[in-house]
């Protein structure tokens, strides 16, 4: 959709039904900032240069579309956003009223394309996101179609190969998140001659032919390494020294205890000998007393 020519008709018409409010140059041309209502019902508010839209501006179409961005010589040129009547929009670079350069197109169904454009078509490197499935095409485009080497990424697997006219064709492989790869190719099946007319009506869809599956590998790059041996040795050796010390200390204490218990027995023996000496002394004294009594009795007689 383009607004090219709308204002030219207004400027060249003998009976000018449009309106303009803004700055002009010495020649009377629209120059600088201004507002215009075109004969077809469109409106423009922005910058002019020598009677033509040039610079930053806002163009509103009577059908509801609008463009906000840069102009040059009455054409969208530079960076700008175009809001289409159906609700979609393009945000990116323009060259002479064409989507050209890098830009993002937001479609009505939620899909998005982010990449290169050439003369209004997706062309070059780009990414297309399918909103319904979450799948994503990352690769090359040609004249609006998926063409060349690309990767089609799905939820739990992806396909790498070449595309021709939106469809995969030739050698490629599927890579699954489980860690395996399936190699093969997409081929066009040949149909009987009586179905040639139907092929023209409905293009054939390439069929996948698997050739091999690579060995399973873990998705992670490598397993975590085991703990260093030094840490293990330190953990084992730390509790052992206390166990050895206690083992040596316990016997030493048990051997000392009997020696301490034997000391009282040696100290108790002298008192027993003293008691025996006292008893003998008492017996001797008693014998002496008895003899003295006998002598006294004999003296009395």
State the CATH architecture for 1-106: Single Sheet (2.20)
Q: Matching CATH topology for 1-106 and 109-225?
A: yes
pLDDT tens, residue by residue, 171-186: 999 999 888 999 999 9
The pLDDT of residue 275 is 52
Instruction: Please name the residue that has the structure tokens 């490629």.
Output: 172
Low-confidence ranges of the chain (pLDDT < 70): 1-17, 190-203, 215-301
- pLDDT at position 24 is 95
Residue 223 has what pLDDT?
52
Give the pLDDT score at 213. 85
All structural domains of the chain with their residue ranges: 1-106, 109-225, 230-300
Which pLDDT score, from 0 to 100, does residue 14 have? 45
pLDDT in tens, 98-144: 999 999 999 999 999 999 999 999 999 999 999 999 999 999 999 99
Q: Are 96 and 102 in contact (CB under 8 A)?
A: no
Per-residue pLDDT, 278? 59
pLDDT (0 to 100) of residue 188: 82
Q: Is the pTM of this model over 0.75?
A: no
> What confidence score (pLDDT) does residue 8 get?
44
Q: From the centroid of its chain, how far is CA 70?
A: 37
Cβ-in-10-Å burial (0-12, 13-18, 19+) of 33 comes to middle
Predicted local distance difference test score (pLDDT) of residue 13: 45
Query: 């830009």: which residue's tokens?
Result: 103
Residues 6+ apart with CB under 8 A from 83: 65, 66, 67, 68, 89
Give ∠ CA 152-155-156 in degrees, rounded to 5.
95
With contact defined as beta carbons under 8 Å apart, do 54 and 47 qualify? yes
User: Where does 109-225 sit in CATH, by number?
Assistant: 2.20.110
- Residue 213: CA count within 13 A, CB half-sphere: 7
The pLDDT, as a whole number, for residue 158 is 95
């Amino acid at each position: 959709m383009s607004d090219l020519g709308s204002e030219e008709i207004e400027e060249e018409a003998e009976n000018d039904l449009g309106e303009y409010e803004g700055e002009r140059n010495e020649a009377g041309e629209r120059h600088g900032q201004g507002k215009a209502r075109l004969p077809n019902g469109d409106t423009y508010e922005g910058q002019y240069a020598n009677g033509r839209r040039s610079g930053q501006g806002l163009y509103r179409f009577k059908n509801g579309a609008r463009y906000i961005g840069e102009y040059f010589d009455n054409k969208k040129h530079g960076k700008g956003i175009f809001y289409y009547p159906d609700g979609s929009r393009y945000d990116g670079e323009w060259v002479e009223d064409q989507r050209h350069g890098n830009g993002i197109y937001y479609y009505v169904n939620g899909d998005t394309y982010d990449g290169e454009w050439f003369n209004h078509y997706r062309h070059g490197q780009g990414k297309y996101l399918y909103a319904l499935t979450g799948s994503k095409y990352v690769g090359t485009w040609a004249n609006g179609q998926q063409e060349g080497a690309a990767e089609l990424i799905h939820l739990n697997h992806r396909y790498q190969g070449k595309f021709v006219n939106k469809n995969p064709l030739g050698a490629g492989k599927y890579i699954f998140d489980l860690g395996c790869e399936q190699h093969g190719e997409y081929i066009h099946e040949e149909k009987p001659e009586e179905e040639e007319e139907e092929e023209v009506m409905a293009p054939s869809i390439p069929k996948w032919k698997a050739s091999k599956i690579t060995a399973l590998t873990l998705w992670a790059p490598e397993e975590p390494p085991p703990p260093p041996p030094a840490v293990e040795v330190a953990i084992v050796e730390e509790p052992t020294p206390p166990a050895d010390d206690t083992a040596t200390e316990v016997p030493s204490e048990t051997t000392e205890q009997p020696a301490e218990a034997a000391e009282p027995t040696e100290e108790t023996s002298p008192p027993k000998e003293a008691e025996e000496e006292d008893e003998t002394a008492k017996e001797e004294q008693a014998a002496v007393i008895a003899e003295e009594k006998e002598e006294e009795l004999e003296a009395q007689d």
